[in-house]
């Protein structure tokens, strides 16, 4: 194991009935890096992601985060240890305000319990006030200034994406998993978002793992790229290496296109 | 269909009004307060006319009308006192004051009577309404806040009642412990704890039962959860019914139930120094009103806890689970623990209400704890508006009133007008026993509410939106198929 590995998987495998969605994938996310996971549709990227956050339990293999084996833990344990995520098809709490969405994200970082909440002890009051202030800061950081009282479902698509990131950041992650964050964005928004991901690392010291289709984002921001095809890892390396890799080109364009 | 019907009625209405010089346009240009006042006055006047011609007229009807107008018309929300917004508290305080003073004015002989519904509820009915309000608010934690369908809530009611039976009666005759028990003659055996202590014990014991039931069942989702809770709701009364010989030990006294259960009271010291009633059961005709006030205090505590928890970290987590379980888990909400808290909290209040009701009724009888009670309480929550405290209070009061008096009154009115010897014209020849059709009528009410206002009569805005659009919570593959997902965390 490398010294600075934040997240590591060992032979991670997921079968749905007879279908092997992810086939013995081992890979490492070094601390402080931005790693991208790419691959054609149906390559098993999101399934892989879901195993990294405890939403799916792997059929075989292990997920190791900060040296701790989290494989059999429930999702909230992953969040608690410092893995935050967004969803490919936005899964906000649609009828809650932006602020409340972020506050739910803070759940594991707050302590107030049932009795304290009923009695509204000074500790809970301070904690709530502080949480609200932090939530507002996060919303502002994600470009959602003065939108804290807006209901999730009434927000624009771009804002919903931003809110998902804000909510994930509220869990105070060390590693942030973004599942196709630029899907449905126009080139302008995509450009802004790429810069935003860079800021997450420089300003917040986050490690980022990205699933992405847009090659400009992938090549522009990642340190390393991992390529999945039919559940298997077919290549790994710097963006430049990946762009030249024969198997990757075949996977994306088809064998016929390459050989002709 | 429904929209067209509403529009047709509205069109006809405005057609009539415009004949008298009030067009729709002109009405809408009037200030809001004016429109509100006019509407309220028209409705109240209509009510007075109905009472005068078809009900029983008393001069106090005018007072009732005035109170309704004062409550409904002014826009209290904007009222401030020394710069602080106090408006939101005015209505609840007024309603509470009306409830507290009810025993003084709510006398059948001095109050007007609505047509069909008949006289105002009696004190014993009011006690039932308060107790069931508490239970409905308890169920609201589970169904309204956390969005978990619980069809076995009666189990908690039963548990609370039997706790009172065990710790405030002579059920265990080989014991002789009196710990603040009221009205217990010297030499009477059994556990006799003070009812106030028993209420707390019942709440805690029931919450523990809630956790025990919850741990294995809350892994399930939706329909499966409903079926399992239904099973537990059936198990409890069966155990109560057959618990007179558990391995030779008489736990529940079987179908006879445990009776008598001690009444509440504060004892001699408090009676002398603070004027609190020493023993509720010796108050005679005034007993019911004291029972009612005590129940009101319990309801207030429940409302207080409901409101506080709704706006807390835990409450947000409940709502998040209701909206999207997978996202909530991914955001760090521990599903099992959070759901179990909802269950335990709901169970706690169900248990306290059950114990109090047992003390009021003077016994715990297995016949009271059948499935229909679970559905009855669920109906209260659904009818009023899931997740909304006002809605649940209204639903509980209305349905419990119908159950205790309303249906009988309606039946009497129907028989009086259309039954044998009816005063108007006779339609049926055998007396119709309306309360017999109680659950059919409740079912019909529920179907109508679900068709026309699925979010309940007084919904929370969030719940209303969820009902209109449906909740977006597609379980991921593992959630449906892999029970390992929810292994409780051991670290």
In degrees to the nearest 10, what's the CA dihedral of A238, A242, A247, A251? Answer: 120
pLDDT at res. B424: 67
User: Given this model, what pLDDT does residue B432 score?
Assistant: 82
**For chain A, how long is the longest CA-to-CA vector?**
74
The answer to whether the Cβ–Cβ distance between B336 and A91 falls below 8 Å is no
Q: Are the beta carbons of A209 and A178 closer than 8 angstroms?
A: yes
Whether chain B has a CB inside 8 Å of the CB on A66: the answer is no
CB–CB contacts below 8 A, A to B: 133
Listed range (B29-43, B99-113, B391-405, B414-428) with the worst mean pLDDT? B414-428
Q: Does the structure show a pLDDT above 50 at B491? A: no
Q: Closest to A104 (Cβ–Cβ): which among B316, B484, B486?
A: B316
Q: Hey, is the C-beta of A55 within 8 angstroms of any chain B C-beta?
A: yes
Beta-carbon contacts of A158 under 8 Å, excluding residues fewer than 6 positions away, are A185, A189
| Binary contact (B476, A167; C-beta < 8 A) | no
Chain A residues touching residue B489 (CB < 8 angstroms):
73-74, 76-77
| A93: chain B residues, CB-CB within 8 Å | 319-320, 323-324, 327-328
Give me the residue from A113, A128, A171 closest to B332, CB to CB: A171
Retrieve residue B423's tokens.
Answer: 């005063």
The per-residue pLDDT for B454 is 79
**A107/B contact by beta carbon, under 8 A:** yes
Q: What is the pLDDT of residue A164?
A: 93
Neighboring chain A residues of B335 at a CB cutoff of 8 Å: 74, 76
Q: Which of B267, B278, B345 is nearest to B305 (CA)?
A: B345
**Mean pLDDT of residues grouped by 10 in chain A (260 residues)?**
77 90 92 91 89 92 93 92 92 92 94 90 93 95 90 89 94 93 87 89 92 85 91 91 87 65
CB contact under 8 A, A153 and B320: no
**CA B382 distance to own-chain centroid:** 10
Please give the pLDDT value at position B479: 47
B489–A120: do the CB atoms touch at under 8 Å?
Answer: no
Contact B280, B264 (CB under 8 A): yes
Nearest of B210, B215, B225, B196 to residue B159 by alpha carbon: B210
Instruction: Compare all CA atoms of chain A with the CA of B463 and give the residue at the minimum distance.
Output: A95
- Res A42: pLDDT: 84
d(CA A55, CA A46): 11
| Residue of chain B nearest A101, judged by CA positions | B320
Position A158 scores a pLDDT of 86
Q: Is B309 on the interface with A (CB under 8 A)?
A: yes
Whether a cis peptide bond, with omega within 30° of 0, leads into B260 is: yes
**Can you tell me the distance from the alpha carbon of A240 to that of A258, in angstroms, rounded to the nearest whole number?**
18
Among A232, A192, A234, which residue's Cα sits nearest to residue A216?
A192
- Rounded-to-integer distance, Cα A240 and Cα B110, Å: 91
A154 part of contact set with chain B, CB < 8 Å? no
Question: CB contact, 8 Å: A31 with chain B?
Answer: no
> Is B487 part of the contact surface with chain A (CB cutoff 8 Å)?
yes
Token pair recorded at residue B346: 């709901």
Give whole-number Cα distances, B210 to B203, B205, B242, B370, in Å. 10, 9, 21, 18
User: Is the model's pLDDT at B473 over the cut of 80?
Assistant: no
Contact residues, chain A, for B479 at CB < 8 Å: 55
- Which H helix or E strand runs over B61? helix B60-72
Q: Tell me the pLDDT tens digit for each residue of B181-237.
A: 887 877 788 899 999 999 999 999 999 999 988 888 887 777 788 888 899 889 988
Architecture of domain A1-82+173-260: 3-Layer(aba) Sandwich (3.40)
Whether residue B489 and residue A76 make contact (CB cut-off 8 A), yes or no, is yes
Q: Note whether B466 contacts A95, CB cutoff 8 Å.
A: yes
Chain B closest-CA separation from residue A243 CA (Å)? 33
Domain residue spans in chain A? 1-82+173-260, 92-172
Q: Quick one: which H or E segment has residue B317?
A: helix B313-323
Of A174-188, A244-258, B273-287, B296-310, the poorest mean pLDDT is in A244-258
Residues of A in contact with B486 (CB under 8 A): 74
| Chain A touched by B261 (CB under 8 Å) | no
Flag the least confident range among B106-115, B119-128, B449-458: B449-458
Beta bridge partners of A175: A83, A207
Q: Which of A84-88, B54-58, B387-391 has the lowest mean pLDDT?
A: B54-58
Token reading at B316: 């947000």
Q: Do B331 and A107 touch (CB under 8 A)?
A: yes
From A202's Cα to the closest Cα of chain B, the distance in A is 23
B484: chain A residues, CB-CB within 8 Å: 57, 72
CB-closest option in B326, B331, B465 to A105: B331
Give the model's pLDDT for residue B470. Answer: 61
**Inter-chain contact A95–B485, Cβ cutoff 8 Å?**
no
- Chain A, residues 224-243, CB within 8 A of chain B, namely none
Question: Where residue B1 falls among pLDDT bands split at 50, 70, 90?
Answer: low
Is the pLDDT at B474 greater than 60, yes or no? no
Contacts of B389 (CB under 8 A, 6+ apart): B137, B140, B303, B306, B307, B310
pLDDT computed for residue A36 by the predictor:
93
Q: Is B21 helix (H, G, I), strand (E, B) or coil?
A: coil
| Residue of chain B whose alpha carbon sits nearest to that of A127 | B313
Q: Collapse the DSSP code of A228 into the 3-class scheme (helix H, G, I; strand E, B; otherwise coil) and give the result.
A: strand
Whole-angstrom distance, CA of residue B491 vs CA of residue B488: 9
pTM of the model: 0.89
Measure in Å the smallest separation between the Cα of A69 and chain B Cα atoms. Answer: 12
* CA atoms of B206 and B86, how far apart (whole Å): 37
Is residue B335's pLDDT more than 70? yes
Residue among B309, B327, B484 minimizing CB distance to A114? B309
């Amino acid at each position: 194991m490398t010294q600075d590995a934040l997240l590591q998987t060992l032979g991670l495998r997921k079968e749905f009935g007879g279908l092997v969605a992810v086939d013995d994938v081992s890979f490492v996310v070094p601390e402080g890096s931005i790693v991208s996971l790419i691959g054609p549709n149906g390559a098993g990227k999101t399934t892989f992601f879901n195993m990294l956050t405890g939403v799916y339990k792997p059929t075989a293999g292990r997920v190791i985060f900060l040296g701790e084996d989290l494989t059999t833990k429930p999702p909230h344990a992953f969040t608690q240890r410092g893995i935050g995520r967004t969803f490919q098809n936005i899964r906000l709490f649609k009828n809650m305000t932006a602020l409340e969405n972020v506050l739910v994200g803070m759940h594991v970082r707050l302590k107030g319990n049932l009795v304290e909440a009923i009695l509204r002890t000074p500790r809970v009051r301070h904690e709530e006030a502080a949480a609200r202030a932090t939530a507002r800061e996060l919303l502002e950081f994600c470009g959602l200034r003065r939108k804290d009282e807006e209901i999730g479902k009434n927000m624009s698509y771009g804002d919903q994406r931003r809110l998902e990131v804000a909510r994930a950041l509220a869990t105070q992650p060390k590693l942030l998993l973004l599942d196709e964050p630029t899907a449905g964005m126009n080139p302008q928004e995509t450009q802004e978002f790429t810069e935003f991901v860079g800021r997450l690392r420089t300003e917040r010291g986050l490690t980022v793992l990205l699933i992405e289709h847009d090659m400009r984002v992938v090549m522009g921001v990642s340190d390393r790229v991992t390529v999945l095809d039919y559940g298997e890892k077919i290549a790994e390396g710097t963006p430049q290496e990946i762009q030249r890799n024969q198997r990757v080109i075949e996977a994306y364009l088809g064998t016929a296109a390459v050989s002709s | 269909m429904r929209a067209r019907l509403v529009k047709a009625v509205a069109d006809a209405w405005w057609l009539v009004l415009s004949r008298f010089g009030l067009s729709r346009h002109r009405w809408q240009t009037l200030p809001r307060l004016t429109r509100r006042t006019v509407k309220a006055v028209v409705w109240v006047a209509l009510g007075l006319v109905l009472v005068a011609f078809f009900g029983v007229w008393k001069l106090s009807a005018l007072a009732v009308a005035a109170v309704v107008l004062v409550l409904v018309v002014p826009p209290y929300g904007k009222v401030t006192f020394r710069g602080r917004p106090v408006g939101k508290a005015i209505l609840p305080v007024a309603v509470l004051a009306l409830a507290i003073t009810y025993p003084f004015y709510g006398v059948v002989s001095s109050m007007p009577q609505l047509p069909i519904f008949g006289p105002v509820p009696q004190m014993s009915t009011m006690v039932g309404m308060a107790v069931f309000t508490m239970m409905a608010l308890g169920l609201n934690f589970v169904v309204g806040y956390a969005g978990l369908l619980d069809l076995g809530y009666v189990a908690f009611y039963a548990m609370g009642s039997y706790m009172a039976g065990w710790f405030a009666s002579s059920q265990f005759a080989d014991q002789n412990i009196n710990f603040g028990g009221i009205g217990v003659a010297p030499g009477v055996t059994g556990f006799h704890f003070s009812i106030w202590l028993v209420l707390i014990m019942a709440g805690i014991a029931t919450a523990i039962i809630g956790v025990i039931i919850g741990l294995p069942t809350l892994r399930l989702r939706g329909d499966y959860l409903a079926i399992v809770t239904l099973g537990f709701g059936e198990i409890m009364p069966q155990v109560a019914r057959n618990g007179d010989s558990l391995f030779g030990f008489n736990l529940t006294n079987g179908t006879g139930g445990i009776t008598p259960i001690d009444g509440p009271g504060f004892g001699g010291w408090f009676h002398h120094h603070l004027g609190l009633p020493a023993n509720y059961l010796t108050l005679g005709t005034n007993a019911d009103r004291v029972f009612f006030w005590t129940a009101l205090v319990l309801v207030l505590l429940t409302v207080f806890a409901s409101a506080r928890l709704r706006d807390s970290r835990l409450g947000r987590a409940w709502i998040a689970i209701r909206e999207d379980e997978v996202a909530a888990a991914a955001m760090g909400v521990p599903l099992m623990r959070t759901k179990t808290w909802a269950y335990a909290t709901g169970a706690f209040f169900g248990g306290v209400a059950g114990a109090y009701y047992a003390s009021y009724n003077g016994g715990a009888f297995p016949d009271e704890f059948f499935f229909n009670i679970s559905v009855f309480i669920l109906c209260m929550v659904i009818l009023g508006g899931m997740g909304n405290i006002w809605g649940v209070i209204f639903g509980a009061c209305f349905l419990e009133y119908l159950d205790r008096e309303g249906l009988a009154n309606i039946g009497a009115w129907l028989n009086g007008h259309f039954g044998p010897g009816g005063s108007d014209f006779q339609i049926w020849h055998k007396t119709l026993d309306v309360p017999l059709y109680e659950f059919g009528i409740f079912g019909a009410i529920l179907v109508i509410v679900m068709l026309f206002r699925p979010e309940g009569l007084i919904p929370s805005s969030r719940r209303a939106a969820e009902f209109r659009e449906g909740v977006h919570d597609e379980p991921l593959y593992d959630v449906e198929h892999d029970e390992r997902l929810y292994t409780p965390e051991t670290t």
